[in-house]
Amino acid sequence: MRNEALHFALRNRKLVVGTVVIAVFLVAGLAGPLMFDHGPNDYVGPAMAPPSGEFWFGTTTFGQDVFAQFVYGLRATFLVGVLGGVLAAAVGMVVGFVAGYRGGWVDELLNMLTNIVLVLPALVVLLIINAYLGVRSIGVQALFIGLTSWPWAARAIRAQTFSLRSRDFVDLARLSGVRTPKIILREIAPNMSSYLFLTFILLFGSAILVAASLDFIGLGPTQGVSLGLMLNNAARWSALQLGLWWWFIPPGAGITAIVGALYVMNVGLDEVFNPKLREM
Amino acid sequence: MRRYFGRKLLIYGLTFFVAVTINWMIPRFMPGDPVQSMLSRANVAQPAAVEAMRAHYTAMFGLDLPLWQQYLNFWGSLLKGDLGISIWLFPTPVSDVIVRAVPYTLGLLIPSILLSWFAGNRFGAFAARRKWLDNSVLPIGYVLTATPYMWLAILLAWALGIVAGIFPVAGAYGFDLQASWSWTFLGSLAQHWFLPFASLFLVAFGGWAIGMRNMIIYELEADYVNYLRALGAPTRLVRRYAFRNAILPQVTGLALQLGVLVAGALVTEIVFSYPGLGHLILQAIQNQDFFLLQGTFLFIVIGVLIANFIIDVAYVLVDPRTRTGMGGAA
């Protein structure tokens, strides 16, 4: 079974392309900052220099190295995506599993909660939370993103759990006296593991986009650099009017490439896991 | 059907309640002291003056009362439509500031949401299972929906506004004009409106096109399609049936995407200094104008709730099952 999945995974162009793009950016984010002996916000070069051999992505109006900011920003972006995505997936899974498996009033209650968080526009809630935070960090940002972006995942997982809970093997486990958490963990979750993984990828991507928007509005981490903050700075110090295209194109392109690669990976994985969708 | 609407309205009511409670709670329970931050912003040196201002702000927030009373007062003034006084535009009430900005945001949002939804669905349905279109739509669609709204806005502003010089990149109308019903003014309004609209439209369009394309592919595998084909029904007819089934999840999807679309409009407005709610939020944050920020938050929540309700009604109209109480959407 595993080998069959691997067989199709290696032959799925979408999955391969998506994974390669993510891997390239991940390596750039991890290894890139090691190339510099200065921080991303240090004033190291001439102001407003276009891309050159020395400064690959040029410099900002203040003489900061855009490439250095970019690779450090990639780190922040991946970190926010992973933390926010993991947290949202965890909350979504707990709520979805419990609601779907227990049913009854527990389900009613959790469903109500899910629907409320679902209708609240997440970014706007994040805006007021972050505006009141004096010191903002990537960790706290990811925490609140995770806490606001789980509802659709919970809904989807609940529906899946619902269809699994009356299967024979679950009944059998219940009859043998296995406790609920263990049934969910051992019997239900493994049967939708691919689905859970796909959910995580989508949450990962959306956490990156939400974080970028927050950063752009000016509620990003107060210290350090991220791709969203780079866009924010570029817009604030009129990179557009000054024609410093090298300042605002890389961060946006980076976000688009990462999130796009995640989406494409998601489709590819879906085709690998679900035989019905494989190329015909 | 009454049950369906009853449930929905209950959820929206509760959501509004939660939103107001969040709005009340955050300034009071977050680390950091809003009064302190306003004082430090005012930059007053004399300690006596600082004390007087602190007392004034504390009384204004009502922070000297017991918590339950603060909460009730908050609701009380909210129901009277009193959202406080803006600090950025000092003696103007927050509600007035917001009401002035809302038309701009709605003027961007409504056309871009509706047009991208219709065009995206049509196009996605058309492209599904048509070899070369499908192969080109898919990657373009994924890139578009992965694009952060503000980046596409920046790119368009730079390419079409600054480099090509075709469109203006700031404001809602020319700085030399007064608001009036003249043709020059309306023309300038449309010209300033186009780029923000286009960037919102494009990002959303990609998402809808992909969603519809995937749904149609699922539908074309369904039994009723095979049956129709076996009967020799023309492809056009089969596709029309598939489209009518595939549109239902897209209606639900529209409700789910509202938050993201609104967020997109906010950042797009910031890029173009378009005087809508996004611009207000930016000003509120830069000027530490918390009343304005919170008022805008409530306005957006109410707007999203109303839009959700409209979509619920639309769902009942397009899905006959909900009308007869035979299930359908949750």
pLDDT level of residue B329 (50, 70, 90 thresholds) = very low
Locus of tokens 């049913």: A103
pLDDT at A2: 60
Minimum distance, in Å, between the CA of residue A184 and any CA atom of chain B? 24
Does residue B84 or residue A147 have the better pLDDT?
A: A147
Residue B258 is assigned to a structural domain of this protein: yes
> Torsions phi, psi of B94, nearest 5?
-55, -40
Task: State which residues form the domain around B276.
Answer: 99-326
In this prediction, residues B63-91 reach a mean pLDDT of 78
Amino acid of residue B330? A
Residue B84 is assigned to a structural domain of this protein: no
CA distances from B230 to B238, B242, B245 (A): 11, 15, 19
Encoding tokens for residue A117?
Answer: 């968080």
3-state secondary structure of A1: coil
3-state secondary structure of B151: helix
Distance CA A124, CA B263 (A): 7
Q: Which of A14-23, A70-79, B30-39 has the lowest mean pLDDT?
A: B30-39
Answer yes or no: is pLDDT of A176 > 50.
Answer: yes
Q: What's the whole-number average pLDDT of chain A?
A: 86
pLDDT at B32: 60
Provide, rounded to the nearest whole percent, the portion of chain A with pLDDT above 70. 97
Answer yes or no: is pLDDT of B326 > 60.
Answer: no
Minimum distance, in Å, between the CA of residue B13 and any CA atom of chain A? 9
pLDDT at B47: 76
Encoding tokens for residue B182?
Answer: 């003249």
Q: What's the whole-number average pLDDT of chain B?
A: 84
pLDDT at B42: 65
Residue B313 is assigned to a structural domain of this protein: yes
Residue of A nearest to B270 (CA): A217
Distance CA A115, CA A100 (A): 15
Distance CA B195, CA B234 (A): 41
Residue B144 is assigned to a structural domain of this protein: yes
Residue of B nearest to A115 (CA): B11
Provide, rounded to the nearest whole percent, the portion of chain B with pLDDT above 70. 92
pLDDT at B284: 86
A35 at interface of B, judged by CB pairs closer than 8 A? no
- CA nearest to A228, candidates A107, A72, A95: A72
Which residues does chain B have within 8 Å of residue A124's beta carbon, measured at their own beta carbons? Answer: 259, 262-263, 266, 296-297, 300-301
The top-scoring range by mean pLDDT among A35-44, A199-208, A269-278, B290-299 is: A199-208
How many domains does chain B divide into?
A: 1
Does residue B29 or residue B95 have the better pLDDT?
A: B95
B38 touches B57 (CB < 8 A): yes
CB contact under 8 A, A256 and B158: no
Task: Choose the closest CB to A112 out of B14, B282, B293.
Answer: B14
Interface of B with A in 76-135 (CB under 8 A): none
Answer yes or no: is pLDDT of B34 > 70.
Answer: no
Amino acid of residue B187? G
Among A133, A143, A216, A249, which would you mutate to test the B interface (most chain B Cβ atoms within 10 Å of its Cβ)? A216
pLDDT level of residue B328 (50, 70, 90 thresholds) = very low
CB contact under 8 A, B155 and A249: yes
Write the CATH number for B297.
1.10.3720.10
Distance CA A280, CA B23 (A): 52
Answer yes or no: is pLDDT of B63 > 90.
Answer: no
Does residue B53 or residue B315 have the better pLDDT?
A: B315
- CA nearest to A148, candidates A120, A169, A174, A168: A120
pLDDT at A142: 92
Beta-ladder partners of A63: none
Which spans in B43-93 are helix H? 47-61, 67-79
A275 at interface of B, judged by CB pairs closer than 8 A? no
Does residue B130 or residue A154 have the better pLDDT?
A: A154
The top-scoring range by mean pLDDT among A113-122, A184-193, B81-90 is: A113-122
- CA nearest to B33, candidates B286, B296, B298, B290: B290
- Write the pLDDT tens digit of every residue in B217-275: 888 888 999 999 999 888 889 988 889 888 888 998 898 888 889 999 999 999 988 88
Distance CA B319, CA B211 (A): 19
Amino acid of residue B93? P
Residue B50 is assigned to a structural domain of this protein: no
In this prediction, residues A241-256 reach a mean pLDDT of 88
**C-alpha dihedral sign at B67, B73, B74, B76:** positive
Answer yes or no: is pLDDT of A61 > 90.
Answer: no
**C-alpha dihedral sign at A100, A101, A103, A109:** negative
Which residues does chain A have within 8 Å of residue B143's beta carbon, measured at their own beta carbons? Answer: 256, 260
In this prediction, residues A166-177 reach a mean pLDDT of 87
pLDDT level of residue A211 (50, 70, 90 thresholds) = very high
pLDDT at B330: 43
CB contact under 8 A, B271 and A256: no
Residue B200: exposure state from Cβ atoms within 10 A (0-12, 13-18, ≥19): buried
Task: Choose the closest CB to B26 out of A132, A240, A245.
Answer: A132
Which spans in B231-325 are helix H? 235-271, 277-286, 290-318, 320-323
A47 touches A60 (CB < 8 A): yes
pLDDT at B113: 93
Q: What angle do CA B260, A258, A238 make, to 5 degrees?
A: 70
Among B154, B268, B308, which would you mutate to test the A interface (most chain A Cβ atoms within 10 Å of its Cβ)? B154
- CA nearest to B296, candidates A134, A213, A131, A113: A131
- CA nearest to A198, candidates A162, A167, A166, A152: A152
Residue of A nearest to B163 (CA): A243
Q: Which of A195-204, A267-276, B6-15 has the lowest mean pLDDT?
A: A267-276
pLDDT at A280: 45
The model's pTM = 0.88
Among B17, B134, B150, B254, which would you mutate to test the A interface (most chain A Cβ atoms within 10 Å of its Cβ)? B150
Encoding tokens for residue A164?
Answer: 């699994």
pLDDT level of residue A238 (50, 70, 90 thresholds) = confident
In this prediction, residues A215-232 reach a mean pLDDT of 87
Which residues does chain A have within 8 Å of residue B14's beta carbon, measured at their own beta carbons? Answer: 112, 116
Distance CA A104, CA B102 (A): 42
A248 at interface of B, judged by CB pairs closer than 8 A? yes
pLDDT at B117: 94
Q: Name, in order, each residue with C-beta under 8 angstroms of A22's C-beta and a sequence gap of 6 or more.
A: A258, A261, A262, A265
Residue B77 is assigned to a structural domain of this protein: no
Amino acid of residue A226? S
pLDDT level of residue B61 (50, 70, 90 thresholds) = low
Which spans in chain A are helix H? 2-11, 13-31, 66-102, 104-119, 122-132, 138-148, 151-164, 168-175, 180-183, 193-214, 227-236, 239-242, 245-273
Answer yes or no: is pLDDT of B167 > 90.
Answer: no
Does residue B190 or residue A92 have the better pLDDT?
A: A92
Chains A, B: CB contacts within 8 A come to 161
> What are the b/e assignments for B135-163, b being 16+ CB within 10 Å?
eebbeebbbbbbbbbbbbbbbbbbebbbe
Residue of A nearest to B151 (CA): A252
Does residue B119 or residue A271 have the better pLDDT?
A: B119
Distance CA A140, CA A8 (A): 39
Task: Choose the closest CB to B294 out of A128, A212, A255.
Answer: A128
Provide, rounded to the nearest whole percent, the portion of chain A with pLDDT above 90. 28
Answer yes or no: is pLDDT of A83 > 90.
Answer: yes
> What are the b/e assignments for A191-216, b being 16+ CB within 10 Å?
bbeebbebbbbbbbbbbbbbbbbbbb
Among A15, A21, A114, A119, which would you mutate to test the B interface (most chain B Cβ atoms within 10 Å of its Cβ)? A119
Does residue A1 or residue B61 have the better pLDDT?
A: B61
ipTM associated with this complex: 0.87
Exposure of B316 in the CB half-sphere (CA atoms within 13 A)? 14
Number of neighbouring beta carbons within 10 Å of residue A125: 23
Fold of A2-32+60-277: MetI-like fold (1.10.3720)
Does residue B118 or residue B23 have the better pLDDT?
A: B118
pLDDT at A208: 94
Amino acid of residue B144? L
Residue B3 is assigned to a structural domain of this protein: no
Beta-ladder partners of A65: A59
